[in-house]
């Protein structure tokens, strides 16, 4: 029987709904994601599904039967359809052309955040599983196997949907699945190994997981090379304690066997960055699978891991890593930053939110002042102060909200975030006070037949769209400026939802035992697709109307096993 192939791009034909890129600074997304993140952080320690997974069979997955192996790594993928499917279709293709033809990987590693903004069965279906099934509908000969590591967004429902999707042995289109837990160890050819650790919202590694990896590590021998997948690039974090779990894992699991971690891979930061040490060890961030782009121009040129400032007593000897490559490059990243001035265009809900806050502030301030003056006490009377108390409280909330927004990213420098947030709050209050002066004049000289309620309605109708747009422009200007001091750098790009500048890693273990890493970029995603109802079973359901162009970010990276 011929498998179903869609004849158009409708939800009924595809079996999933194509989603647009998440608008991260829309009020609905901010509130819902914030609540999920808070609940996950509170209850994650009390209901840690990693410990419950101890009853599942623990396996070392073997993909070492051949002399060589091609495999892929992609992370941060389940966002808008166009970006996610652009990358998925390239991963599913029999080969990609980057000046030389690279065959499809036999193993695909998903490095975290397989869905945005929060995890649910429907979100996975629409934003990840559906697009990947459409890219590779049926399993081809020698078809690939998919493994997935959860990121923080996968944990926002306690990992429930993730485990149901990836750990029950059900294929995702033409990709087989094998893992039974949210972490895994894979034996690769030529004494290479891949260990993927579930760090669950940057907490300590649970004991059942450590026991699993200790068991897997019994097969390691001196001189073996390990590729370590971690949900976040902790080596690039400014907090010295973030790297401690990696250092502990290395000292407790890997080093006693005589093996060494030669490569660390991560997503979470939505760009490509490679740091390398003098001994040839690599630390690579590649979170370009579909989510919004994040800046690279503020990356540090040199990092030290583990940090000398760590409080761990038994840490390994710190090593220095130099930044060797980034994508997009520094110039492109800087050039993209001012795009946040279009924040209101991409996030109209943010305009409505700031407009509503400004309307409440302006109306309350106008009538508080007018109330005091009517009582005859003047501007400094006790009555005026009492009437102004709600306005003062609202002003305080605006200042606190601005400071909280500046510190929403824990990686921002605390003092700089405090200063920048306070300045942003003052700018918003200044805008409200300036508009209040105009409204107060209108209120004072209004016709007698115009009641206060009608004037308030007029002010609200004008303030929400117009002053809201100006307030959003102020926020955009704040983000463009503050991001130059590492404050709200993520939000300056999240608010733009840039879908281009995507990519993934294609890797090869050669018969000689070397690991070759090909960092592939997709400078521009496709935004127009057409159904291919007459294709064969494993052909993609949808074809790009604008052909996808692939290039190497940098020359292939060669890593020796030891």
Q: Is the pLDDT of residue 442 over 80?
A: no
- Dump pLDDT digits (tens) for 157-211: 888 899 999 999 899 999 999 999 999 999 999 999 999 999 876 667 888 889 9
- Mean pLDDT of the region 449-466: 71
Mean pLDDT estimate for the chain: 86
Percent of the chain with pLDDT over 90: 51
470 Cβ contact list (under 8 Å, min separation 6): 431
- Dump pLDDT digits (tens) for 411-425: 788 888 889 988 999
* Best CA proximity match to 290, nearest among 412, 135, 145: 135
Residue 334 confidence class, pLDDT cut points 50, 70, 90? very high
The least confident of 14-28, 95-109, 375-389 is 375-389
Q: Is the pLDDT of residue 76 over 90?
A: yes
Residues of the chain with CATH 3.60.21.10: 60-291+324-329+500-559
- The tokens for 345 are 């265009």
* Best CA proximity match to 539, nearest among 7, 138, 84: 138
Q: How far apart are CA 440 and CA 373, in angstroms?
A: 12
Which segments of 79-182 are extended strands (E)? 95-97, 101-103, 107-110, 145-148, 176-177
Stretch (H or E) spanning 226: strand 225-229
- The residue assigned the tokens 């991001």 is 483
Decide: residue 376, CB within 10 A, 0-12 exposed, 13-18 middle, 19+ buried. exposed
- Mean pLDDT of the region 421-439: 85
- Dump pLDDT digits (tens) for 303-314: 988 877 777 767
pLDDT at 32: 73
Decide: residue 325, CB within 10 A, 0-12 exposed, 13-18 middle, 19+ buried. middle
- Mean pLDDT of the region 274-301: 93
pLDDT at 301: 93
- Dump pLDDT digits (tens) for 535-556: 898 889 999 998 999 999 999 9
* Best CA proximity match to 265, nearest among 411, 396, 75: 75
pLDDT at 149: 95
Q: Is the pLDDT of residue 392 over 90?
A: no
Please give the C-alpha separations between residue 131 and each of 79, 124, 170, 290, 411, in angstroms, as whole numbers: 10, 10, 16, 11, 32
pLDDT at 362: 80
SS3 320: strand
119 Cβ contact list (under 8 Å, min separation 6): 153, 154, 155, 156, 157, 159, 160, 161, 162
pLDDT at 50: 60
- Mean pLDDT of the region 510-538: 93
CATH architecture of 60-291+324-329+500-559: 4-Layer Sandwich (3.60)
Percent of the chain with pLDDT over 70: 88
Q: How far apart are CA 175 and CA 128, in angstroms?
A: 13
Q: Is the pLDDT of residue 371 over 60?
A: yes
pLDDT at 190: 93
pLDDT at 364: 78
pLDDT at 38: 62
Residue 51 confidence class, pLDDT cut points 50, 70, 90? low
pLDDT at 203: 64
DSSP letter at 71 equals E
Highest mean pLDDT among 48-52, 329-333, 433-437: 329-333
CB count in 10 Å sphere of residue 207: 11
Q: Is the pLDDT of residue 233 over 80?
A: yes
DSSP letter at 20 equals P
DSSP string for residues in 278-317: TTS-EEEEE--SSSPP---TT--SEEEES-TT---SSPPP
pLDDT at 267: 92
The least confident of 244-258, 290-304, 323-337, 361-375 is 361-375
The least confident of 2-6, 504-508, 556-560 is 2-6
- Mean pLDDT of the region 317-322: 89
Residue 410 confidence class, pLDDT cut points 50, 70, 90? confident
Residue 385 confidence class, pLDDT cut points 50, 70, 90? low
pLDDT at 42: 54
Residue 373 confidence class, pLDDT cut points 50, 70, 90? low
CA atoms within 13 A on the CB side of 350: 24
Residue 461 confidence class, pLDDT cut points 50, 70, 90? confident
pLDDT at 356: 85
CA atoms within 13 A on the CB side of 203: 19
DSSP letter at 399 equals H
* Best CA proximity match to 213, nearest among 156, 256, 260, 253: 253
- The tokens for 203 are 């907490």
Residue 153 confidence class, pLDDT cut points 50, 70, 90? confident
Q: Is the pLDDT of residue 277 over 70?
A: yes
pLDDT at 49: 56
- Mean pLDDT of the region 55-73: 85
Give the full edge-to-edge strand order of the sheet including 282-286: 60-62, 184-188, 192-196, 225-229, 260-266, 282-286, 272-276, 319-327, 302-305
Highest mean pLDDT among 202-216, 233-247, 382-396, 494-508: 494-508
- Mean pLDDT of the region 273-302: 93
Q: How far apart are CA 323 and CA 220, in angstroms?
A: 30
Q: Is the pLDDT of residue 378 over 60?
A: no
Q: Is the pLDDT of residue 101 over 90?
A: yes
DSSP letter at 326 equals E
pLDDT at 52: 59
Q: Are 321 and 478 in contact (CB under 8 A)?
A: no
pLDDT at 315: 74
- Mean pLDDT of the region 333-348: 90
- Mean pLDDT of the region 119-140: 92
Rounded to the nearest 5 degrees, what angle is found at the Cα of 137, between the Cα atoms of 132 and 143?
90
Residue 481 confidence class, pLDDT cut points 50, 70, 90? very high
Q: Is the pLDDT of residue 223 over 70?
A: yes
For β-strands 529-531 and 192-196, DSSP reports them as unpaired
Highest mean pLDDT among 204-218, 370-384, 403-417, 442-456: 204-218
């Amino acid at each position: 029987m011929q498998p179903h192939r869609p004849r158009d791009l409708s939800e009924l034909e595809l079996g999933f709904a194509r989603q647009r890129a998440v608008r991260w600074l829309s009020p609905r997304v901010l509130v819902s994601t914030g609540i999920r993140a808070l609940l996950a952080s509170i209850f994650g320690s009390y209901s840690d599904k990693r410990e419950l997974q101890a009853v599942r069979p623990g396996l070392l997955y073997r993909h070492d039967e051949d002399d060589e192996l091609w495999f892929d790594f992609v992370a941060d993928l389940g966002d808008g359809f166009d970006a996610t499917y652009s990358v998925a279709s390239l991963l599913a293709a029999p080969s990609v052309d980057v000046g030389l033809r690279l065959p499809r990987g036999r193993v695909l590693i998903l490095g975290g955040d397989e869905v945005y903004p929060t995890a649910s069965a429907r979100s996975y279906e629409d934003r990840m599983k559906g697009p990947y099934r459409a890219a590779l509908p049926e399993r081809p000969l020698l078809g690939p196997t998919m493994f997935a590591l959860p990121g923080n967004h996968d944990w926002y429902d306690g990992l429930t949907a993730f485990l149901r999707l990836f750990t029950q042995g059900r294929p995702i289109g033409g990709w087989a699945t094998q893992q039974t837990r949210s972490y895994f160890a894979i034996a690769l050819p030529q004494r290479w190994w891949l260990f993927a650790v579930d760090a669950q919202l940057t907490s300590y590694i649970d004991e059942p997981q450590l026991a699993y990896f200790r068991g897997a590590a019994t097969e390691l021998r001196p001189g073996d090379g390990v590729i370590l997948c971690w949900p976040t690039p902790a080596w690039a974090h400014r907090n010295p304690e973030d790297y401690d779990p990696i250092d502990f894992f290395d000292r407790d699991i890997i080093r006693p066997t005589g093996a060494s971690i030669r490569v660390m891979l991560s997503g979470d930061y939505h760009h490509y960055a490679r740091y390398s040490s003098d001994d040839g060890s690599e630390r690579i961030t590649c979170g370009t699978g579909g989510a919004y782009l994040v800046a690279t121009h503020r990356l540090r040129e040199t990092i030290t891991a583990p940090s000398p400032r760590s409080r761990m007593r038994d840490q390994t000897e710190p090593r220095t890593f130099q930044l060797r490559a980034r994508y997009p490059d520094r110039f492109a990243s800087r050039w993209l930053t001012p795009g946040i001035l279009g924040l209101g265009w991409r996030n109209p809900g943010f305009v409505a939110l700031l407009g509503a806050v400004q309307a409440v502030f302006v109306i309350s301030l106008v009538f508080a002042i007018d109330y005091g003056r009517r009582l005859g006490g003047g501007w400094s009377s006790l009555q005026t102060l009492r009437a102004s108390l709600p306005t003062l409280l609202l002003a305080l909330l605006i200042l606190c909200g601005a400071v909280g927004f500046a510190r929403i990213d824990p990686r921002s420098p605390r003092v700089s975030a405090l200063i920048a947030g306070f300045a942003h709050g003052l700018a918003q209050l200044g805008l409200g006070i300036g508009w209040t002066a105009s409204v107060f004049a209108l209120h004072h000289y209004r016709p007698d037949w115009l009641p206060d309620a009608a004037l308030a309605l007029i002010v609200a109708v004008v303030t929400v769209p117009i002053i809201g747009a100006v307030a959003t422009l102020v926020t955009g200007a704040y983000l463009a400026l503050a991001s130059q001091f590492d404050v709200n750098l993520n939000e300056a790009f999240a608010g733009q939802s840039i879908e281009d500048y995507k990519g993934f890693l294609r890797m090869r273990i050669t018969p000689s035992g070397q690991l070759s890493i090909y960092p592939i970029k997709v400078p521009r995603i496709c935004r127009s697709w057409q159904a291919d109802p007459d294709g064969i079973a494993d052909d993609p359901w949808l074809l790009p109307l604008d052909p996808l162009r692939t290039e190497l970010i940098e020359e292939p990276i060669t890593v020796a096993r030891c």
